[in-house]
Amino acid sequence: MARESDLNGHSKWIVVGLLFLVAALNYADWMAIFSVFPLLKKEMGVSDLVLSMLGSSFLWVYGASSPLGGFIGDRFNRKQAIIWSLAIFSVVTFASGFAQTGLQFILFRVLLGFSEAIFLPTALAHIATFHSDSTRSLANAIALAGFPVGAGIGGFYGGYMGDHYSWRAGFYVLGIVGLVVALILVVFLPGHPPSSDLPPHQAKVLTHEPPLRKIAAIMSTPTAVCVIILAFGLSMNSWPTGTWMPTYLHDRFGMSLTRSGLIMALFIYVPCVIGEALGGWWADRWARRDCRGRIGVQIVALAVMAPTMLAMGLMPTGTAVTANLLVYSLARGLLEVNSMPIFSTVVARQRWSTAYGIYNLAGTLAGSLGVLFVGSMKASWGIGYGLSATSLFLFISIGVMVMARRYLAHDIKNLAADPLAAIAGDPCYTPGT
């Protein structure tokens, strides 16, 4: 394995910084629409079910395409895959401003889901290639912070543009900005770390591994399976929260679109960024002493998230809801930054993108079901109680990750015996178990 000191110190952090920027655009493009749901309902006359479909159709396609996106990241040049993903989803975002009906908007969301599915597994695998175990969680934390930053900006920006200008103009501007950033990546994004070059015959073995063999190897690794189940449990409440919270604050507590968007930014996305930074730093330190440290951080986070999500529908005022959101989001940040670093500890390098693609599939499938569930309960239970009900999956996830903690050392040993992992120089560290 290439030690961290062997890697280009500037290149590895340039990669993180640029992919943070793309991640922010990725989520800004996705989240901007949710702050203008009331405007779409008024202008296009769409039903609550169609509004739910705007979130769920994206998730279905994004999830179904994620394993393919991960395979593309393992099979082809990761830099080029990232740039093409950004360029395509920016064009789709720009075109969304021309939608005239709910059906047309759903079509654009489908295209957006397909184009964005390539980015995340490829980007995180690209980062993991540049970083060793001593900085991998922190690097993920910085890059993944782009998602809550982008979601916060997108939520506020969408509401602000809807209130003061035009929601259509908001999509035009986001699309143009994305294309400009794609040009920046062409020039400045490093393609691979200097220490990652392999002889041609070994590189061919790694990149041409059949997709089904990749998937079989991943799904035969218990720790990886537990992390994939975790994605399902987490997304059953995190995606519905991001989708329906602005509407909940608007309808239940009479907040304006601008104010509800601002609350989303300050009490969901800012705490999440702080949690990610803290979680990355804490997990890297804990993992140096104990290979189970990253899973330990995730268990702590789940133990905080589950009861706060359960309490979501019981909060009597908007102030109480926002305080509860702050605690939930801080803990969520601790959790999310450690999934790819765990994969990179128990899965061979040429399977990293595919593993995260499967993780995304599980998460987005759950997210789409959660969005539909909360939307369908809106007229009877209400959004708040619907969100509270999804906490069940967080309580289940605590038990799943306790199991992962027990499997981890065994899976690390199995990775050390994998001949393909040896060729790739995968990290396989054995601190205290």
pLDDT given for residue 127 in this prediction: 87
pLDDT given for residue 10 in this prediction: 76
pLDDT given for residue 390 in this prediction: 92
φ, ψ of residue 290 to 5 degrees: the values are: -150, 125
Alpha helices in 3-145 (DSSP H): 9-31, 37-44, 48-75, 78-96, 102-116, 119-130, 136-144
- Per-position DSSP letters for 201-219, written without gaps between them: HHHHHHHT--HHHHHHHHH
Domains of the chain, by residue range, sit at 7-188+201-422
pLDDT digits (tens, 9 = 90+) for 226-258: 999 999 999 998 888 877 887 888 788 877 767
Fold of 7-188+201-422: Growth Hormone; Chain: A; (1.20.1250)
- Does the reported pTM lie above 0.85? no
pLDDT digits (tens, 9 = 90+) for 300-348: 999 999 999 999 888 888 788 888 989 999 999 888 888 888 998 898 8
The residues of the chain scoring below 70 in pLDDT are 1-9, 192-208, 257, 418-433
pLDDT given for residue 144 in this prediction: 81
- Per-position DSSP letters for 35-51, written without gaps between them: GGHHHHHHHH---HHHH
Q: At what angle do helices 167-188 and 146-164 cross, to 10 degrees?
A: 150
pLDDT given for residue 1 in this prediction: 39
* Distance between CA atoms of residues 76 and 353, nearest Å: 11
pLDDT given for residue 152 in this prediction: 72
